[in-house]
Amino acid sequence: MARVLITGGAGFLGSHLCDRFIKEGYDVICMDNFITGSPDNIAHLFGNPQFTFIHHDVTNFIYVEGDLDYILHFASPASPIDYLKLPIQTLKVGSLGTHKTLGLAKAKNARFLIASTSETYGDPAIHPQPETYWGNVNPVGYRGVYDEAKRFAEAMTMAYNRYHNVETRIVRIFNTYGPRMRIEDGRAIPAFISQALNNEPVTVFGDGSQTRSVCYVDDLVEGIYRLLLSDEVLPVNIGNPDELTMLDLAKEIIELTNSKSEIIFKELPSDDPKVRQPDITKAKSLLNWTPSVDRRAGLEKTIADFKKRLNK
């Protein structure tokens, strides 16, 4: 039975990956220090003989007993509210954490997959964003701690591939949503849903004309799984190209929650990207992957999860 280590495995994406690999028959080792992850996300897996949990900070030396076939490095704050509050930890997990997990992959002769991000493209001058675009990032801006941590992680990953012959994969993840997102996550969808369910004003930044392309978590996990098992070494975008404005997304969530909330507008944060849409031509051709979950259907599942946790 193959063994996989998932760092950040108690986070939103990491916990769904734990579920998927267990379903596929793998032995899963979940590693997390709960800075932004939660034991609630993996509570249903405790007691499962295929699941092991290790409480550990991956910026320190990592020890895992026995063989490993795959390592997925998903440990990192991923929401602006987190990496603005935890700037140094964000930089350390992208740099030191990536170095430590790549060293483990080399020692175990394991295939390594790094969770990168659409934020490597910054505020893009090309739309939609293909993997060949080098990005437009402010390295000394507030968001630079996350953007540059991920760009460094990609460079480190390619260095280990080229110099140490470690099998590596790079996924550039676009905006993803679904059950288990933190209620206080700070990103648009959890913020809109929690505000709407509480009939509070729904906060839209700027005039709401900035766009995002949102992908349901099950689709993302499928793309990541296919990429891990593929032969592609260079980065691959995984996301849903169905683009919409933040104002339209807020209106849709208010409608789906039958909320009495009104929309209010606040100042746009520094370096906030004006557009975000993945070019998924590469994922389609190499992985035979396209997202299949309709946005409204995915939002309904996410809203149901939030209702349960908010006791609504």
Q: Which residues are catalytic?
A: 146
* Total length of the chain: 312
Number of helices followed by number of strands (H, E) in the chain: 9, 13
Q: Which two tokens stand for residue 68?
A: 């490993």
Q: Using DSSP, state whether 287 is helix, strand or coil.
A: helix
Cα angle value 173/106/88 (rounded, 5°):
50
Which candidate, 58, 50, 8, places its Cα nearest to that of 25? 50
What distance in Å separates the CA atoms of residue 6 and residue 16, rounded to the nearest whole number? 11
What distance in Å separates the CA atoms of residue 34 and residue 183, rounded to the nearest whole number? 15
Residue 229 has phi, psi (to 5 degrees) of -90, 0
Radius of gyration of the chain (CA): 19
Cα angle value 238/239/245 (rounded, 5°):
155
